[in-house]
Amino acid sequence: MTTETTKKFNIDTVEHAAKTPDTELPWAELGLKQNEFDEIVKVLGRRPTGAELAMYSVMWSEHCSYKSSKNHLRQFGEKVTEEMKKDMLVGIGENAGVTNLGDGWAVTFKIESHNSPSFVEPYQGAATGIGGIVRDIISMGARPVAVMDPLRFGAIDHPDTARVMHGAVAGIGGYGNCLGLPNIGGEMVFDSVYQGNPLVNALAVGVMRHEDIRLANASGKGNKVVLFGARTGGDGIGGASVLASESFDDTKPSKRPAVQVGDPFAEKVLIECCLELFKGSLVEGIQDLGAAGISCATSELASNGDGGMEVELTSVLLRDPTLTPGEILMSESQERMMAVVTPENIAAFEAVMDKWAVEYSWLGEVTDTGRLIITWEGEVIVDVDPRTVAHDGPVYDRPFARPEWQDSVQANSFTGSVEDAGRPSAPTELAAAVTELVASPNMCSKAWITKQYDRYVGGNTAMAFPDDAGVVRVDEETGLGVALATDANGRYTYLEPYQGAQLALAEAYRNVATSGAIPMAVSDCLNFGSPEDPDVMWQLAEAIRGLSDACMELGIPVTGGNVSLYNQTGTTPIHPSPVVAVLGKLDDVARRTPSGWREDGQAIYLLGTTAAELDGSEWSNLRGHLGGLPPKVDLAAERALGEILINASRDGMVDAAHDLSEGGLAAALVESSLRYGVGARIALEELMERDGVDLFTALFSETQARAIVSVPRSEEVRFKDMCTARGFAHLRIGVVDAAGGKLEINGVDELSLDALREAHEATLPKYFG
Amino acid sequence: MTSIPLIGEAVAVAAEPRLAGAKIGVVTFPGTLDDRDAARAVRLAGATAVPLWHADSELGDVDAVIIPGGFSYGDYLRAGAISRFAPLMSKIIDAANSEAKLPVLGICNGFQILTESHLLPGSMIKNDHLKFICRDQTLRVENANTAWTVDYTDGQEIIVPLKNQDGQYIADEKTLDALEAEGRVVFRYVGFNPNGSRRDIAGISNAAGNVVGLMPHPEHAVETGFGPESLDGAPRDTDGLGFFTSVLTKIVGGDK
């Protein structure tokens, strides 16, 4: 029996479903596999209703359920010492992890992907990526204070790259600027492997007092469930299940309708409105609506609480009155939140909504039945155990195996390869090589992007791009603040996934320490191809194993993150790209260390030793080579280097510090000189002698655990003593030269800063206007 | 509840007793972004910042008003076009035009609201390059006699952040000529015109000099370590503080 309503569709009730077991349901179109559909039938003891099918299909999608990665992700929770848990107030599993900063302050941060939507519709895809991650931060009870955006695009000269780049950057700026959140850094990489599948990741960080931490759970029988913010529309339906959990191919129609549309003004008002709710302690539990919309919010709130929930779906305020119950449950319309409010607080809650002119509707209440029941005009269309929707989705032990091609790739070292022919050695050649490097797509100035972002709003940005880490003040009285950096190297990870993931962590850790902050926590966004490909699954498994081992060794826990799979064009996967964000703490942001030197006559030191490690390097990339083994990982050295940089910052021993990573010493020297337009005189003979490398290798090798620092004369003895005491290699390689306006390196033709700056800054405008 | 404010929370804190009596209102509209920064600038200048809400019908006893930057109502219509009709705006317009000549400063979106309110002439359209732009901008103070510039000198160059999408100042030639003739061009862009503004105009005043609007953000240049850098790296991070001390000079009366 079907019930006729005023709507143009039939309501498939639970009662009806029980009586019509053989009705054909579109589970395959919704992205479910046969075994998954069978499992739903088993869990329910009957066929699902249309609404239930909609919920399960989005919640059991790869994007929401982590079904392919869950078995591996466990390591992040298992490889954790008591020491690492010390400052973790909320761990993995909530909207975002929370770390203790001291003085009653806590910080929450998380990084997420919005890759597929950003390819289909770059502006909205990137914009709503910012919106979604910011709502995750608000739902923890925090005030968002900054965002970052690691971006990976196709080849810089491919005609479609401009479309994606313009759209994504304008979207991030258009949304983030309008929210009043400073954008303090990110990444930009061009590589043809991302041509049909750019990576648009977004990070947000928020701060709160300990007592303000909020969790997503619905507890207390009789408490009311409210949906507030934007109205629910037809945008983003199936975004998580169809878009983010499947590969693109040309046989299917455009997926544009699956991309959400953002309204940053609504989000800004929602932020202020939520903070006012928190301040008045007006909500018991709160959950943002992101992937899987109301399906996710109701099932997660209910399953994390102590009872059940009953919701009337016709109470949802709609933008489009023709939406079916299934569509309402799956819609990913942005700028919505769901909260649980006690009956006593209803009036106060409504007053806050009215003040900010935010729409809301009361949907139902918390029950003690343990069931999530959703009705449509009183008729039950969903009756499920919420855990089966939110947490007990399928888990796959996907087959994985080391790819057959891995050995031959690793055997193909850059040194001595065809591409390595004519390696620069003469002074003119080396000068040209340095200039070519710093003008190259991945190493050039990112100012074209960053000047489209507001880095000032809030008045607490102590450091932003192009410095190694973004630094934001948290407490205006004490100067307490946080530093953040994100890093990934798809080329390294392609060559050796276990090490590649560790190298991403090592670099982010190093960047944070370079700024003077003590690294405390990790969030990761694991961007990979299809898990159904055993080669890709091996890359993912190895990367997670590598990352979790390295976190243990560095003593910083993963507090949250996101897995993005099916990143491929046709059957060609992207380079495995684990983007790692590290958060650090500065007791006083006034002590932060910028990446450029300013004071004439200061000594420039190189910390760490240099080996011949050019495989996977930016130089080899410029020559079109990818093979061999990435630089060695030495986490003990990273830790020692980090401690030196942190102490040097705290005790005022260095005025500038810059980590060595992509592009090696050559890139670091140019960047530190261009930062404030102050040059240097450099001699590397002693380094070449000590480490047994030639000048080219000294400049372009990407050996890890290295940094350059500028040391005031008065601090030189103390600084050297500290490095010696810690047994860490340190070598004076030059001196800051404020008058010359050039970077002089013995054995390299003179490089004028004006010419370097022009080369460095011209690249993006040349391609993107 | 916590007694320590959340980061950036708008709260009124009394500062130096002699100046703390001076109350400067900071208006918040839905979508205002730089209200906390403006309040901080007021506090750092030594006065008391008073949060004002757009929907309030009374201005209270504030001595001056700042309309801060942001995207009020998302700038979805014309920037400032909706905010101009807020209940508080009519009070501000009356007070600015009254005998007492209430000092009013509009920054960025605040400047746009002031032109929409007809407290200031002209209008802002999209930047000529059609992109949002954030940069450390050099300005020349062309008139150091307004309520918000008396602590500067004529011709002084300052660096303050600029960040906007719709920052191109336009007006008809007659209006521009009149502004120039009457000394009402208060700030001009130096070295680089970041948005195509007519005659490099960055900020203007009304005839009485109590109402000033500009696109760049002096409230982001009031604190060491958090403001702009000059090209040579020399710290220039507090060049904007003069706006807020100027109005105090006006209010408290000469001797600060």
In this predicted structure, the answer to whether residue A479 has a pLDDT above a threshold of 50 is yes
What is the distance between the alpha carbons of residues A486 and A582, in angstroms, rounded to a whole number?
Answer: 6
Q: How far is B6 from chain A (nearest CA, A)?
A: 7
Asked whether the beta carbons of residue B74 and residue A281 sit closer than 8 angstroms, the reply is no
Cross-chain Cβ contact A474/B7 below 8 Å: yes
Name which of B101, B137, B100 is nearest B220 in CA terms: B137
pLDDT in tens, A85-120: 999 998 877 778 899 999 999 999 999 999 998 999
In this prediction, residue A261 carries a pLDDT of: 82
Tokens of A575: 């380079």
The torsion region of residue A141 among left (phi > 0), alpha (psi -120 to 50) and beta comes to: left
Which pTM was predicted?
Answer: 0.94
Average pLDDT, chain A: 93
Pick the more confident residue, B34 or B237: B34
Closest-CA distance, B254 to chain A, in angstroms, reads 29
- Cβ-defined contact of A208 to B232 (cutoff 8 Å): no
Residue A4 has pLDDT above 80, yes or no: no
CB–CB contact B37 A590 (8 Å): no
Q: Are A424 and A742 in contact (CB under 8 A)?
A: no
Q: Which amino acid is at A742?
A: K
φ, ψ dihedrals at A350, nearest 5° = -65, -30
pLDDT at B231: 64
A180–B33 CB contact, under 8 Å = yes
Residue of B2, B7, B72, B130 to mutate, testing the A interface (most A Cβ within 10 Å of its Cβ)? B7
Contact B220 A456 (CB under 8 A): yes
Query: How close B33 comes to chain A (CA, Å)?
Result: 5
Q: Do A178 and B161 touch (CB under 8 A)?
A: no
State yes or no: ipTM above 0.85.
yes
- Residue among A454, A515, A599 with most chain B CBs within 10 A, to mutate: A454
- Cβ–Cβ under 8 Å, residues A512 and A485: yes
Chain B residue at shortest CA distance from A593: B225
Note whether A275 and A255 are within 8 A (CB).
no
- Within 8 A of A596 by CB-CB distance, chain B residues are 233
Which residue among A263, A355, A460 places its CB closest to the CB of B7?
Answer: A460
pLDDT of residue B18: 67
Query: pLDDT at position B7, please?
Result: 52
What is the Cα–Cα distance from A709 to A542, expressed in whole angstroms?
34
B134 classed as catalytic: no
Chain A contact set for B229 (CB, 8 A): 676
The residue of chain B with its CA nearest to that of A455 is B134
Would residue B219 show up in a list of annotated catalytic residues for this protein?
Answer: yes
pLDDT value for B233: 63
Element of type H or E holding A15: helix A14-19
Kind and range of the H or E element at A606? strand A603-607
Of B7, B76, B133, the CB nearest to A265: B76
Length reported for chain A: 769
**A256 pLDDT more than 80:** no
DSSP track, B121-155: -SEEE--TT-S-EEEEEEEEES-TTSTTTTTS-TT
Instruction: Label residue A45 exposed, middle or buried (CB < 10 Å: 0-12, 13-18, 19+).
Output: exposed
pLDDT category at A606 given cuts 50, 70, 90 is very high
Contacts of A462 in chain B (CB under 8 A): 225-226
Angle between helices A264-279 and A346-355 (to 10 degrees): 140
> How do beta strands A518-527 and A558-564 pair?
parallel
Average pLDDT, integer, range A589-608: 96
CA nearest to A273 within chain B: B30
* pLDDT per position as a tens digit, A166-185: 999 999 999 999 999 999 99
Question: What is the share, in percent, of chain A residues with pLDDT greater than 90?
Answer: 85
Number of helical H runs and strand E runs in chain A: 27, 28
- Hey, is B116 helix, strand or coil? helix
B2 pLDDT exceeds 70?
A: no
Q: Nearest to residue A238, comparing CAs of A253, A251, A223, A226?
A: A253
Contact check, Cβ <8 Å, A268/B71: yes
pLDDT for position A396: 94
Preceding omega of A557 cis (within 30 degrees of 0): no
What is the number of residues in chain B? 256
Nearest to A451 among B1, B33, B135 (CB): B135
* Residues of chain B found within 8 Å of residue A177, distances taken between Cβ atoms: 71, 132, 163, 165
For residue A131, the chain B residues in CB contact (below 8 A) are: none
pLDDT at B232 over 80: no
Nearest CA in chain B to A166: B131
Q: What is A556-599 written as a DSSP string?
A: --EEEEEEE---EETTEEPPPEEEEEEEEEES-GGG---SS--S
Residues A134-157 have pLDDT tens digits of 999 999 999 999 999 999 999 999
Q: Which chain A positions have a beta carbon within 8 Å of B30's beta carbon?
A: 265, 268-269, 356-357
Interface test with A, best of B134, B163, B220 (most A CBs within 10 A): B134
The residues of A assigned a catalytic role are 63, 114
Confirm whether B217 is a catalytic residue.
Answer: yes
**B251 secondary structure, DSSP code:** I
Q: Is the pLDDT reported for residue A41 higher than 90?
A: yes
Total CB pairs under 8 A between chain A and B: 125
Cβ-contact A458, A452 below 8 angstroms: no
Give yes or no for a contact between A703 and A611, defined as CB atoms under 8 angstroms apart: yes
Q: What is the pLDDT of residue A556?
A: 96
**A459 and B40 in contact by Cβ < 8 A?**
yes
Q: What angle do CA A267, A271, A277 make, to 5 degrees?
A: 135
How confident is the model over B164-182, as pLDDT tens digits? 999 999 999 999 999 999 9
Residue A254 has a pLDDT of 40
Put simply, the answer to whether B2 touches A104 (Cβ < 8 Å) is yes
**Least CB–CB distance from B36: residue in A174, A279, A458:** A458
Interface of B with A (CB under 8 A): 1-2, 4, 6-9, 30-31, 33-34, 36-37, 40, 55, 70-71, 73-76, 131-135, 161, 163, 165, 217, 219-220, 222-223, 225-226, 229, 231-233
- CB-based contact A623:A684 (threshold 8 Å): no
Can you tell me the distance from the alpha carbon of A47 to that of A723, in angstroms, rounded to the nearest whole number? 68
Put simply, the answer to whether A589 touches B225 (Cβ < 8 Å) is yes
| Sign for the pseudo-dihedral over CA of A135, A137, A139, A144 | negative
- Nearest by CB: A678 against B223, B225, B233: B233
Cβ distance of A459 and B132 shorter than 8 Å: no
Neighbours of A38 (CB within 10 A): 12
Select from B70, B225, B233 the Cβ nearest to the Cβ of A462. B225
- State whether B34 and A180 contact (CB < 8 Å): yes
Are B31 and A265 within 8 A, CB to CB?
yes
Q: Which of B73, B132, B225 sits opposite A173 (nearest CB)?
A: B132
Distance from the Cα of B41 to chain A's closest Cα (Å) equals 10
* Amino acid making up residue A737: D
Q: Which residue has the tokens 């040059």?
A: A679
Instruction: Check residue A249 and give its pLDDT.
Output: 43
Instruction: Say what the pLDDT of residue A290 is.
Output: 84
Q: Are B233 and A598 in contact (CB under 8 A)?
A: yes
User: What span, in angstroms and rounded, lies between the C-alpha atoms of A603 and A587?
Assistant: 26
Rounded average pLDDT over B56-60: 93
Mean pLDDT, residues B206-232 = 92
Locate the chain B residue with the closest alpha carbon to A279.
Answer: B1
- Edge-to-edge strands of the sheet including A308-312? A285-288, A336-341, A224-229, A360-367, A308-312, A372-376, A379-384
Helix (H) or strand (E) holding A418: none
User: Which of B2, B31, B40 minimises the CB distance to A211?
Assistant: B2
Least confident piece of the model among A38-52, A291-305, A337-351: A291-305
Question: Of A63-77, A255-269, A315-329, A751-765, which one has max mean pLDDT?
Answer: A751-765
Dihedral sign computed on CA atoms, order A568, A262, A259, A49? positive
Amino acid (one-letter) located at A408: S
Contact B37 A173 (CB under 8 A): no
Is the predicted pLDDT of residue A8 greater than 60, yes or no?
A: no
What mean pLDDT is predicted for residues A302-313?
Answer: 91
Choice among A428-432, A469-473, A640-644, B78-82 with the minimum mean pLDDT: B78-82
Contact assignment for B4 to A211 by CB distance below 8 Å: no
CB contact under 8 A, B8 and A209: no
Whether B225 has a pLDDT exceeding 50, the answer reads: yes
Contacts of B163 in chain A (CB under 8 A): 177, 454, 456-457
